[in-house]
Amino acid sequence: DAVFAVLDSSVEIEAFVTDGDRVSAGEVFARVDGPAEVLLAAERTALNLLQHLSGIATLTRAFVEAVAGTRAQIVDTRKTLPGLRMLQKYAVVVGGGRNHRFGLDDGILIKDNHIALAGSVRTAVERARKYAGHMHKIEVEVSNMDDLREALEARADIILLDNMSPEMVREAVRVVRERAPEVLVEASGGITLENVRAYAEAGVDFISIGALTHSAPAADISMKLTTL
């Protein structure tokens, strides 16, 4: 609506579906009434946004369906386009996924560069907890079993298993459940529609996928004009 309203507030839009509904090929799901010159001027921008966001929702739905029946929830990342983060993350939710952080202030995620600067996983967690206070959960990204054990010893709240194989993830989950069953486990890195089920069946709580927002194929949507 906003794209057309910028050019002409008198343009009327009637939607035949709601966000999250499935749309079949060839199905007409909206009608736009207004001056032809306005519709043509807004067409490309409106379609670009609609195709992109619908593509995100569609890809997210595919991942959600691929892990159905497991405990795993599909979440996005901050790998979004400048200026479009809110819309892209909304599209993920429409597709059945969940949002990870919107920004750095939403939660503490200690990654490899933070660990490198701090000198160790334990030091990074201790420093973060010192400044964060008791209201913030601390998530630690690990890529091997040694760092995983150190993160658990440092009492991290969430463990992010980065670029591990499904087999490694399964073993990591076993260690977490035995040592700290209250800790949540997230998997990320190299996860596709072809292998996401294996990661979900490894027992993780969350699977974060950057491709949802940075690589989703655009949906094939067009606007056809008719005269009244």
- Return d(Cα 173, Cα 179) in angstroms, integer: 10
Catalytic residue (one of 78, 79, 170, 197): 79
Catalytic residue (one of 44, 155, 174, 177): 44
When computed from its CA atoms, the radius of gyration of the chain, rounded to whole angstroms, is 22
- Return d(Cα 60, Cα 94) in angstroms, integer: 9
Q: Which of 154, 146, 200 is nearest to 180 (CA)?
A: 154
Catalytic residue (one of 61, 89, 139, 141): 141
Catalytic residue (one of 78, 98, 101, 111): 111
Catalytic residue (one of 76, 150, 162, 205): 162
- Return d(Cα 88, Cα 140) in angstroms, integer: 25
- Return d(Cα 96, Cα 149) in angstroms, integer: 33
CA–chain centroid gap for 137, Å, is 19
Asked if 111 is an active-site residue, the reply is: yes
Asked if 44 is an active-site residue, the reply is: yes
Residues labelled as active-site residues: 44, 79, 111, 141, 162
